[in-house]
Chains A and B, each alone.
Chain A
Amino acid sequence: MSRRLLIGVFEREEDILNATRASRTLGYTLVDAYAPYAVHGLDEAMGLAPSRLPWVCFALGLAGAAFKVWFEFWTTSVNWPVNVGGKPWNSLPAFVPITFEVMVLTAGVSTVLAFLAVARLLPGRKARLPRARVTDDEFVLVLEESDAAFDVARVRRLLDGFNAVRIEERVEEA
């Protein structure tokens, strides 16, 4: 199964923002937008749902912290109580620094791993870029020619209106 793509290349972030917004309003199917840096508002212009990664971070951070508190309690006051400076077995203030570190560790590492899994970024994966210069100074909007009603001439005129420097049609093999 292959799909036909229309690729618009822009030189300024305002242009890709406006072009993205207009394409979505007119009901075209957005495949993706490429930019050399995070363009403020592009996610909203594309209509992307908010990322769910913060929830992974929060849940695993909390789980890591809870596990560590329980583990320290278990080691220092249940399994092998050790008298440290006459403090009570179960001394919560002493647990705080390590709990904090473990929380940061689990939250941080799990967020990165979750991101890699969601984005399917595995070692050795080849970058798929519409143009090499999107990593430097170009902005690219990729639309799908979803059905027969997709009027290439009209979309070209639309993107031209937003100062597209180049418009190409491509066929993507799945």
Chain B
Amino acid sequence: MNFESTLPPLPEGSVRLLRALAAVGGLIILAGVLFAPERIWPSLLLVTYFLVCTALAGAFFVALQYVAGAGWSVALRRVPETLAMLLPAAGAALILVLLARPSLYPWAVHDSAYVALQGFKALWLNRPFFLARAAVYLALWIGLALAIVRTSRRQDSDGAIEHTLRNEKLSAVFIVVFALTFWPAAFDWIMSLEPHWSSTIFGVYNFAGMFLSGLATIIVLTVWLERLGPLHGVLNDNHLHDLGRLLFAFSTFWAYIWFSQYMLIWYANFPEETVYYTRRLHGAWQPLFLLNFFLNWVVPFFILLMRASKRSATTLMRVAVFVLVGRWLDLYLMIVPPHAGDWPPFGVWEVGPAVAAVALGLLASFHYLRQAPIIPVRDPLLAESLAQSDTPKPSRVSAGSSKDFFQAGVG
């Protein structure tokens, strides 16, 4: 096994297919901007926010492993690191949407039919401050996430323990910053689409969905890399089992928060709060509302309940795809209803941006995956991650330097 190897170039056919899909998606977006702005912009907000969340989930996953001192995930860490690398591009795309279409947000346009906001909301929701906040959130996330990835890659050449220690500190800072900025970001970008409505749990709800779909993306890419070859023989059922358990746990966490938000509003029964659910539970929206719960919780929960399905790459990957579709639907139900009537709009304007986002996201991921060895070759905890194995591998013995580190650490 040659761990130094990077990902081989993708087959020419796959690259051409992805580029073609990206181009078609791009043309649809262009046509939409010209001919169907009221449909395309919510859709673009959805996919750019989806990409930002996926990238952020990658960074959060890496940070979580560092602060927990986790060893099991080191062999597959390049996958979430790659997702974190998507953050600048995804963030720029989101900013572009916020800049180009102020009228997504009713508070940003002067409309006689609109009841003006009062108090704190009126102060908080104004366009210059809104854009400045978005820039600050993204700059903080990008700065910290890229610093963590850069430090991790630097370790590939010298294997120095300092890099791990530095990343532990950076990760702790990132997690605190992330916790304090992600919920206001979700409030700004998504909740203020309906500025008169508010839900204090909205930030947690967005975090749950973000990390759930981020885990699903990590699973899809990891299994795919294992199938393709670079991670073959490195990953085994125990790594999958751990990823499956995380997906299972966060699916249930998402459902818990999903229901909590609903129940609190249902219980209090204030008209300014219930309007959110009234809109999403009448007519043709209701089946979608229930489908959301089905895709994000019922499917993952009952399938992943069995140990065998958490250890099967095929089953886990299929569940992850369900979750990703569920995440799209979850965001669709957060973003689109205020911009639509009684009938949920679905057609080329919704599919086009999603196709473009998936194709561009995958192309960018391959690009970043090829920048560094496919596993963190000199991470001191790599031996522990590889030892997560039913069949002990000789490779474990060769990781001499890291073994010395452990013994020194214990003594």
A interface residues, Cβ below 8 angstroms from B:
13-14, 17-18, 40-41, 44, 50, 54, 58, 85-86, 93-94, 96-97
B interface residues, Cβ below 8 angstroms from A:
238, 259, 262-263, 266-267, 269, 305, 307, 388-392
Residue numbers in A under 8 Å from B307 (CB-CB): 50, 54
Closest Cβ of chain B to A83, distance in Å, is 13
Q: A41 touches which one: B262, B266, B390 (CB < 8 A)?
A: B390
Q: How far is the CA of A97 from the CA of B259 in the complex (A)?
A: 9
CB-based closest 9 A-B pairs: A41-B390, A14-B392, A93-B263, A93-B266, A40-B238, A40-B390, A96-B259, A40-B388, A85-B269
Which of B262, B263, B392 counts the most A-chain CB atoms under 10 A from its CB?
B392
Q: How far is the CA of A96 from the CA of B261 in the complex (A)?
A: 13
Taking A50-B307, A93-B266 as known contacts, 19 extra A-B pairs with beta carbons closer than 8 A to each other, sorted by chain A number, are: A13-B392, A17-B392, A18-B392, A40-B388, A40-B389, A41-B389, A41-B391, A54-B307, A58-B305, A85-B269, A86-B269, A93-B259, A93-B262, A93-B263, A94-B263, A94-B267, A96-B259, A96-B263, A97-B263
Residue numbers in A under 8 Å from B238 (CB-CB): 40
Residue numbers in A under 8 Å from B263 (CB-CB): 93-94, 96-97
Residue numbers in A under 8 Å from B266 (CB-CB): 93
Which residue of the partner chain A has the closest CB to B263? A93
Which residue of the partner chain B has the closest CB to A45? B390
Q: How far is the CA of A77 from the CA of B154 in the complex (A)?
A: 65
Q: Known contacts A14-B392, A40-B238, A44-B390; decide if A85 and B305 are in contact (CB<8 Å).
A: no
Q: How far is the CA of A41 from the CA of B390 in the complex (A)?
A: 5
Q: How far is the CA of A95 from the CA of B265 in the complex (A)?
A: 15
Closest Cβ of chain A to B293, distance in Å, is 12
Residue numbers in A under 8 Å from B391 (CB-CB): 41
Q: How far is the CA of A52 from the CA of B307 in the complex (A)?
A: 12
List 11 contacting pairs A-B, 8 Å CB cutoff, sorted by A.
A13-B392, A18-B392, A40-B238, A40-B388, A40-B389, A40-B390, A41-B391, A44-B390, A50-B307, A94-B267, A96-B263
Inter-chain contact total with CB atoms closer than 8 Å: 28
Residue numbers in B under 8 Å from A17 (CB-CB): 392
Residue numbers in A under 8 Å from B259 (CB-CB): 93, 96
Q: How far is the CA of A17 from the CA of B267 in the complex (A)?
A: 56
Residue numbers in A under 8 Å from B389 (CB-CB): 40-41
Residue numbers in A under 8 Å from B267 (CB-CB): 85, 93-94
Which residue of the partner chain B has the closest CB to A15? B392
Q: How far is the CA of A93 from the CA of B263 in the complex (A)?
A: 6
Which residue of the partner chain A has the closest CB to B256? A100
Which residue of the partner chain B has the closest CB to A14? B392
Q: How far is the CA of A94 from the CA of B388 in the complex (A)?
A: 44
Residue numbers in B under 8 Å from A86 (CB-CB): 269
Q: How far is the CA of A54 from the CA of B307 in the complex (A)?
A: 10
Which residue of the partner chain B has the closest CB to A54? B307
Q: How far is the CA of A44 from the CA of B311 in the complex (A)?
A: 14
Q: How far is the CA of A19 from the CA of B125 in the complex (A)?
A: 68
Which residue of the partner chain B has the closest CB to A40? B238
Q: How far is the CA of A50 from the CA of B308 in the complex (A)?
A: 11
Residue numbers in B under 8 Å from A18 (CB-CB): 392
Closest Cβ of chain B to A46, distance in Å, is 13
Closest Cβ of chain A to B387, distance in Å, is 8
Which of A40, A93, A94, A97 counts the most B-chain CB atoms under 10 A from its CB?
A40
Q: How far is the CA of A10 from the CA of B267 in the complex (A)?
A: 61
Which residue of the partner chain B has the closest CB to A84? B267
Q: How far is the CA of A50 from the CA of B388 in the complex (A)?
A: 19
Q: How far is the CA of A127 from the CA of B390 in the complex (A)?
A: 28
Q: How far is the CA of A172 from the CA of B391 in the complex (A)?
A: 32
Closest Cβ of chain B to A50, distance in Å, is 7
Q: How far is the CA of A140 from the CA of B238 in the complex (A)?
A: 23
Closest Cβ of chain A to B398, distance in Å, is 14
Which residue of the partner chain B has the closest CB to A94? B267
Residue numbers in A under 8 Å from B388 (CB-CB): 40
Closest Cβ of chain A to B308, distance in Å, is 9
Closest Cβ of chain B to A93, distance in Å, is 5
Closest Cβ of chain B to A13, distance in Å, is 8
Which of A14, A54, A94 counts the most B-chain CB atoms under 10 A from its CB?
A14
Q: How far is the CA of A140 from the CA of B105 in the complex (A)?
A: 67
Closest Cβ of chain A to B283, distance in Å, is 21
